[in-house]
Structure 1
Amino acid sequence: MPPTFVLVHGAFANSFSFAPLQAELGLLGHRSVAVDLPGHGFQATFTRAYQSPQDPEGLATAPGSIKGVTLADNATHLIGILERAKRNGPVILVAHSRGGVTVTAAANARPDLIDRIVYVSAWCPVDLDVNDYYTEPEMATVDPAAFAPALAGNPAELGLLRVNFRTANPDALAALKGAFFADGTDEQFLTFLNTFQPDENLDAGGSADRAQAATWGRVPRTYIRLTDDTSLPLALQDRLIREGDELAPDNPYDIRTLAGSHLKWLADPAPAARILAELATLPSPSTPA
């Protein structure tokens, strides 16, 4: 029975990001489901202050629906989708960026629902919590302060992280493009920004949410490295792979590599779709080789 690809987005993103990839997968004969995590997609908050002309003061103070959403909420929501998808056969769970934290938490809890995990330049914390990796040498080239001109409001007061992706500030736009889509045209970059939502939850997980050998470690997994990613650098991707292999040495990562930035694979999805289609042909653990 052919698998279902379940696609999990990263921070500030939503299921809309996967539309080009889903089209490519469909044309290759594969079914897929793009997930909106809680507070994302049509559950997101787009305040009038975010519209044009913008109201900076209102944008900095308006409440957002994602306030209070936790990693546990994300994992519970995803597990519900996996339960439904699993009724139709094998499930290949694909994570991008921060979505990897949710996927890892779901695999810790319900490895029986997943036939393969595919991380695409995605977080899979093993030795440290996600926030702690930012102080490590592999992340030395990432400067979070570069995005300060695009930040809106105080996260501690809002209870969420808010970014003004509709800013016209040239420094903010340059920083965002350099971090996420340096190899895209300005038009592609601005188009992608307009699929983002301004709010993200503050819960990136803790030590209890790191990959666990007894559960997550049993699930076959692939890591697709993005060689030109500057927001989750290749050195950090390779460290996450190495730590995962050390945690579950009998079930190492299948490693694939694509050229491009953090978002290029979504805007030009054919190469990634071909890799995913190939993974769909691999035998599941219950299928004789």
Structure 2
Amino acid sequence: MPPTFVLVHGAFANSFSFAPLQAELGLLGHRSVAVDLPGHGFAATFPAAYQAPQDPAGLATAPGAIKGVTLADNVAHLTGVLERAAANGPVILLSHSRGGITATATANARPDLIDRLVYVASWCPVDLDASAYYAEPEMAAVDTASLGLAAAGNPAELGLLRVNFRTADPGALAALKAAFLADGTDDEFLAFLNTFQPDENLDTGTPADRARAAAWGRVPRTFVRLTGDASMPLALQDRLIREGDALTPDNPWDVRTLESSHLSWLVRPAPAARLLADLAPPVSH
């Protein structure tokens, strides 16, 4: 049976991000399912204060449906998708960016549902919790202060992270483009930005959610390095690869590389689709 690619988005994103990639995979003869994690996609909150003309004070205080959503909720939802997909053949679970935290925790819980893990510049915490890596030398080049220019509201009061992706602040827009799509056009950047949702949950996991050799470590895995990624620098991607190899030396990463920023592999997805097709097991006729 041919595999099903199950695609897990990153922070503030949703299944819409994967539409161009799914089209390319389909044209290569592969089926795929793009997941909306809880509180994402059509379940996301877009406060009226987020619309034009914007109300910054209202945006800073408006409630969001993603408040209280946990990593455990993400894992339960993704597990349900994987159970349905696995009933139809092999499953290749792909995660991007923050989606790797959910993929890792799910592989810890149900490695039997996954035939291959694929991380595309995606968080795979091994030695540290995901949030702790931000204090490490590999993340020193990330300009978190500039990225914070678009932040809206107090996370402790809102119970969630909120970013005003519809800001007109030129400094904030320049910082976001440099971090995520420096190799794209301004039009591509603004188009992608308008697929984002303003809210994300706060739960990035605990030591129990890090990669575990006895479960996650049983699954064949591929790490796709993005050479131009400024939000997850190549040095950090390579560190995560080294840590995973040290955890399970008998099941090392299969490492691939794409010339891409954090998002341009999704904007121009043909090379990524060909790479993924190469990971799919051959189909018997």
Q: Aligned AA for 2:245? A: D
Give the unaligned 5+ runs of structure 2. none
In the TM superposition, residue 281 of structure 1 has moved relative to its aligned partner by 2.6
What RMSD over aligned residues (CA atoms) do the two structures have, in Å? 1.0
Cα displacement (A) at 1:14 = 0.1
Which amino acid in the other structure matches residue 136 of structure 2? E
Amino acid at match of 1:90: P
Counterpart in 1 of 2:102? 102
Percent identity over paired residues = 78
Q: Whole-Å Cα distance in 2 between the matches of residues 202 and 139 of structure 1?
A: 20
Structure 2 matches for 1:107-256, cutoff 5 A? 107-256=107-256
Distance 1:231 1:160 in 2: 20
Give aligned pairs, total: 284
Distance in 2 separating the partners of 1:14 and 1:276: 20
Q: Deviations over 1:20-66 (max 9, x none)?
A: 00000000000000000000000000011000000011100000000
Task: Please give the per-residue CA displacement for 1:240-262, whole angstroms capped at 9, x wherever unaligned.
Answer: 00000000110000000000100
Q: Distance in 2 between matches of 1:282 and 1:208?
A: 35
For the residue of structure 2 that corresponds to 1:271, the secondary structure is helix
TM-score (norm: length of structure 1): 0.97
Residue identity matched to 2:240: L
- Aligned residue number for residue 84 of structure 1: 84
CA deviations on 1:113-171 (whole Å, 9 max, x unpaired) are: 00000000000000000111011110010121112221100000000000000000000
TM-score (norm 2): 0.98
- Structure 1 residue 282: Cα displacement: 6.2
Give the distance between the partners of 1:146 and 1:138, measured in 2 at CA: 18
- Distance in 2 separating the partners of 1:276 and 1:228: 19
Instruction: For 2:233, give the aligned amino acid.
Output: P
Deviation at 1:2, TM superposition (A): 0.3
Match in the other structure for 2:4: 4
Q: Match of 2:5, as an amino acid?
A: F
> Where does residue 73 of structure 2 map in the other structure?
73
Cα distance in 2 between the residues matched to 1:100 and 1:148: 22
- For 2:82 and 2:148, locate their aligned partners in 1 and report how far apart those are by CA, in whole Å: 37
Gaps of 5+ in 1: none
Which AA in structure 2 matches 1:222? Answer: T
Query: After TM superposition, what 4+ stretches of structure 1 lie above 3 angstroms from structure 2?
Result: none
SS in 2 for 1:134: helix
